[in-house]
Every structure is written in C-alpha cells, then in structure tokens.
A and B are shown apart, each in its own frame.
Chain A
Amino acid sequence: MTTASPSPAASPSSAASTSSAVSASGPVYAGAAGPAPAGSAEGPGRRRRLLPFSPWHLLLAPLCLVFAIPLIWLLLSSVMSDAEINRFPPSLWPSGIDLEGYRYVIGNAMFPRWFANSLIVSLTAVASNLVLGSLGGYAFARMRFAGSRILLALMLATMAIPFQLTMIPTFLVMKRLGLIDSLGALIVPSLVTPFAVFLLRQFFLSLPRELEEAAWLDGCSRLGVLWRIVLPLSRPALSTVAVLTFLTTWNDLTWPLIAINHDTQYTLQLGLTTFQGQHHTRWSAVMAGNMITVLPVLLAFLFAQKTFIQSITSSGLKG
C-alpha cells in the first residue's frame, strides 16, 4: 500500500487483497480511506501526512487505554502481594510476581468445585441448546405438522417476556420439581432457549432444499438428513448458538443466586460474590479468583473473536 506497484495488472489484485483483508476485520465504507484507484492524480499526493501515523491514533489510543486499564489492573493486582495491595496509596505496579493469591484460591476447598459447577452447567447448556435447538429448528423449518405455526409464534412471543416476571414462579416450579439447591435447577431452564430454536430455523431455511430432497428420496430418514446434510452445512449458526449460550450461562448471576443456597452447588459467579465478603483483607486472592472467573470467557473470545462479533451483530441486526 505504501509503494505504488509498477505493473498495472498487479494494482487491482493488490486492491482486492487489501479490501478482503479489511473485510476480515471488518470493511470500511468505501472511499473513507480506501486505496486510491490507480491513475487517480490526487491519490498518494493528498495523503502526505504531518505525523508519521494517522491523527486518529491520538484520539483512539488513550480512549482504548481507558477501556483496558481496569482489566490490566485486575491482572496486576492478582499477582501482587497483600502487603503491596493494602498499602496506601497502593503501588500501581507490582514489584514482583507473587502467585500467593492464586495458590490460596486454588487450594481453597470450594473454589475448584465452583469452577467445575460452572463448567458443568455451561457445557450442558451449550450441548443441549445445539441438540434440542437443531431438532426444533429443523422441524419448524422443514416439516409440516398441525399447529406448527401457532407453536412457533408462541415460542417467539416468549422471547419478549422479561426474566424478572418469570423468576419468582420459576423458582416455585423448580421447588415443586425438587430441584432447588441442585445443579438441576440451573440446568433445566437453560436446556434450550427460543433464541437457539429460532436462529437455527432461520439458518436452515436459507439452505438449499435440493440436497435434502435428494437424500430424503434416497431413503435417508429425517434425522439422517439433519445429521448428515443440514448440520455440517450449519457451522456458522451452530457456533453462534454455542458462543452466546456459553457466554450467558457462564456469566449469569441472578438465577444461581435465586436457585442455590448451599455453597457446594455455587457457580463461579455466585461464589465470587460471597468470596469477596469473606476475604475482604485478602484482595490478592479475590482478584486471583476474579481473574480465574473471567479467563474462560476471555479465552473463548480471543480464540473465536470473529464468531463472537458475528454472533453479536447477527443476533442484533439480522432482523
């Protein structure tokens, strides 16, 4: 981009490759700062700069630092010693890496258990949302049965019901089922969401019908068609459902707070809030615990950044 390519043939291809690279991280609207077309007189000349970098950095770099500082502080304080944290004014940079907080948290009888509970609940939710969501979504997309339209409309309508309206009676339902104070109370309501069913249905509708029909006529069962043909084509939608389900179940605090009393059944989020009260003097341990709570979601985000962003925008915009 910095040097003009000598051959005219290379120019469009380089433009194409830069624009595709941009679209991977998100395309800009054309013309804002796009590569000037070859032969345009004002192209490179107008781009002479006073600074060696774009002036936008002067605005964006400090702003982004503001967004990053609390998280950096979380990381730093989790490796500080308690003496260092409790000093006033607290040192803003650790003198050395002290893993005492982490050792304390992991050695704590309950903390690993809370981690396991959170993992069990979240992974079950992801798996069951994928399975039940695809089954339901496929039936609504491709199969005809009496009442399917009404049923779908009803399911959609439930998305508009605020959680606060249902939280007290859901507690009562779970109590009747004898699930209160067990992981079952956390798992059952998150088994499948209307969001998963609906998103997958919309995706299945967009798939070409012909492939399925061919398999169907060859004697493949409905389940076989779904498993062999539809699901392999549906990776984007499935990963969207998986990512969003994991994010919401892992991060949820309200429902575990209501449904769980005994600390052996706590999730990580719930444990963290009580942990904070019990260990007020051991801030390094609290911050280490917080770091461990945040880490899985953070890692999931960094590894699947593209899917994450897509799932956020598609759940918001494709409507």
Chain B
Amino acid sequence: MPRLPTPVTLPDRGEKRSPRTRTRPLLGKAGTAPGAPPGRHTPRRRMRQETATAWAFVAPSVLVILGLSVVPVVWSLLLSFQADDLVTPSRWVGLDNYRALAQDPHFDQAVRNTIVYTVLYVPLSIGFGLLLALALNRRIRLVGLYRTLIFVPFVISAAAQGVLFSFILDPEFGAANAVLDKIGISPQGFLNDPGQALAALLAISLWSGTGFCVVVLLAALQDVPPSLIEAARLDGAGRLHLLRHVVLPSLGPVMVFLLLWQAITSLQVFDLVYVTTKGGPLGSTTVIVYFIWEQAFKNFTAGYGAAAAYALALALLVLAALPRLTRSVRDRARTDRHLEGAAR
C-alpha cells in the first residue's frame, strides 16, 4: 500500500477563497441567463445531471479511499478488543489485550527502541540536513552533482538499502570491516551486535533520509526574501548574524513540517528493520511497527497487534496535535499580552 509523503497540515486554499467557490458561475449562467446558449435540458434537469456526473467522478476515489480507511479504522478498534488469529472466528476479550500490552516486556522494549531511534534520528537528520543545505546553497561548481549525490539514497527502497548494508556491514567479509582493518581498528559486529545494531540502523536511515531534509531546506532557503538579506547587509550584518537573525528565523514553518514529518516516518520505521535484523539481536532493534507485524502475521495474535497499533496511533495523534496546541497556547498568550497593553 503506497504511503506517499502526505502533507501534514494543508490549509484548504480553495475553501478560504469562499466568495469565489461559493458562487456557481457555470450553473448560474446556464440556468438563469435568458441568453444562455440553447441547452438540450432545462436548468433543473441539467442540475440533476450535474450532480450525477459529479458523483460518477468522485465515486471510485471515495469508494477506494474511504472503504480502505474508515472500515479498517473501525475494524482495527474492534479487533483490539478481541482474540483473533486471522483464521478462526474471533473471541471478545474486552480490555485484556491492552492490559497484556502494558505488562509485556517486549512491547516495552519496542517502545523504548522506537523512542531512542526517533529522538536521535529526527534532530540528527534535520541538523545534518541544515548544515548541508547551507553549504549547498551557494553558487559553486558541481553543486548540482553534490545535491544529486546526497538525494539519491532517498529514492532507494528500504529493502534495497537493507540488503546493501547487510552486505557492507557483514562482520566477517563486509567492506566496512575491511576498511576498519586497514586503519587498524578491530572488526565490529554492527548489525549482529546487540549494542550496535540500533546505531547501525540509525546510520543507514541517516544516509538515506538526510537528502530529503536537504532538499526541503534548500527550497526554503531559496524562499528567504532577498530584500531582507539585502537590508541586513546594508545594516552591516556579518555572515553569522545574517544566518542567526535572518535566515534561520525564516525557516520556522519548514522546520515544524520537517520535525513532524521525520518524527512520523521514524516512528513508523519497519522495512529496514525487517530486511536487516528482523528485530534482533536480542530484541535490540524491535521497533513498534515490527512488533505489530510480528504479533499479527507471525504469532497470529491479530487482536493483540491491533491493540499495539492503536497505542501507536494515539501517540502519533498526540504528536500531530502538539504543534497546533502549542500554537494556540502561544496565540492566546500573545493576545493576553496585547490586551494587557491595551488596558495600560
């Protein structure tokens, strides 16, 4: 099932332009103007036909999209209260799945691994991406080649990345240990070492995911109004001042988007783990989604998996709501200050 990089907060521009969208220029003209071109139908019939056409246009999308999202969301909730092995009829168990989840050390470990991974991946990929974007945001030779090289890993599937890196990081005959050997460092276990596996996964994700941050930040850097920079320069701002007081503040909205986006992708990481470590060694790379998959499709305890999925979904929901909440709190604080100022 495709998971497109969907925008998290999209303002509905069409709706906001309400005066234009609310009017019905096409129907209005055809229906009311006496000099309208001779239609084959009366206005009312035409309107009914219009509705029918509209429904014919949207029906396939609506059926697929809502059918494969609303139904599963409800079904998933029901499943999480059941014991289900995907084959025989399920049994209602109430909150037992959630209770078991709270006590399951494996779930606990999966949550901890996911949090560690997310907390490291998000700032590292964005920070690293920002540095690279600042470096790439100048007119030097080969800059196009550099951008391409940094972005290309992003388009490579996690499966292909996993296969490639389990080859490179193979402790016995991988290229990584061969290179370490040449510079006099003893061979490492990488993905086979419980202490290193999560860090190795993190490194692979940074290799592929930083390019995305670079591209998004580069686009944002190029949107910084030149007049602002010009004005700051005339005021005698140096490079660092320019960066600190003009460039970085204007990146705010993009940073929020990247934070959310990277957090959501890292909380949902699965393919790479499946291909490289299968959650091991010793559960050191079991992330939440891997845990859900394992429960549902390997251990055949789908209800338990669904409960874990709901726990994850709630966490994501809170995360997605967080910026909006903080914004409204900040706005309220600001209006309070304004009111205070007015009162004084």
Which chain A residues have a beta carbon within 8 Å of chain B's beta carbons?
22, 25-34, 53-54, 56-57, 59-61, 63-64, 67-68, 70-71, 73-74, 77, 85-90, 92, 125, 132-133, 135-136, 138-146, 148-149, 151, 154-156, 158-173, 175, 188-198, 201-202, 205, 209, 212-213, 216-219, 222-223, 244-245, 247-255, 257-258, 269-270, 272-273, 276, 283, 286-287, 290, 293-294, 297-298, 300-302, 305, 308-309, 312-313, 315-319
Contact = CB atoms under 8 A, between A and B. Distances in A.
A165 B312 contact: yes
Nearest to A212: B26
Given A169-B75, A301-B152, A316-B216, A53 B141 contact: yes
B28 to A, nearest CB: 11
Contacts of A192: 60-61, 64-65
Given A165-B72, A169-B79, A143 B57 contact: yes
B65 A158 contact: yes
Contacts, number: 384
Nearest to A210: B25
B116 interface: no
Contact of A88 (B71, B143, B178, B182): B178
A212 B211 CA distance: 40
A92 B289 CA distance: 36
Most A CB contacts (10 A, CB to CB) among B141, B160, B162 go to B160
Contacts of A219: 37, 39
A308 to B, nearest CB: 7
Contacts of A212: 26
29 contacts: A26-B147, A32-B138, A54-B138, A57-B141, A60-B146, A67-B152, A67-B153, A71-B152, A71-B156, A77-B167, A87-B173, A89-B173, A90-B174, A125-B2, A132-B64, A142-B26, A148-B58, A167-B292, A171-B296, A193-B4, A194-B65, A197-B65, A202-B14, A205-B17, A216-B30, A252-B3, A273-B163, A290-B164, A293-B157
Contacts of A87: 173
Given A32-B229, A161-B73, 4 more contacts: A171-B297, A251-B159, A252-B3, A290-B163
A191 B5 contact: no
Interface string B53-92: 1110110111011111111110110010000001000000
A308 B155 contact: yes
A65 to B, nearest CB: 8
A143 B219 contact: no
B175 A73 contact: yes
A11 B257 CA distance: 40
Contacts of A245: 2, 4
Contacts of A252: 1-3, 157
Contacts of B4: 193, 195-196, 244-245, 248, 315
A33 B141 CA distance: 12
B76 A168 contact: yes
The 6 A-B residue pairs whose C-beta atoms are closest, nearest first, are A30-B226, A251-B157, A169-B72, A136-B61, A89-B178, A139-B57
B155 A297 contact: yes
B9 to A, nearest CB: 6
B54 A139 contact: yes
Contacts of A188: 64, 68
Contacts of A250: 157
Interface stretch (B119-127, B270-278, B326-334): B270-278
Nearest to B143: A25
A90 B212 CA distance: 32
Contact of A56 (B135, B162, B164, B264): B135
Contacts of B25: 209, 213
Contacts of B261: 316
Interface stretch (B104-112, B190-198, B301-309): B301-309
Interface string B314-336: 00110010000000000000000
B15 to A, nearest CB: 8
Contacts of B226: 29-31
Contacts of B317: 160
B338 interface: no
A198 B4 CA distance: 12
B66 A67 contact: no
A60 B293 CA distance: 40
Contacts of A248: 2-4
A193 B138 contact: no
B36 to A, nearest CB: 8
A190 B156 CA distance: 19
A79 to B, nearest CB: 14
A69 to B, nearest CB: 9
A171 to B, nearest CB: 7
Contacts of B137: 28-29, 32
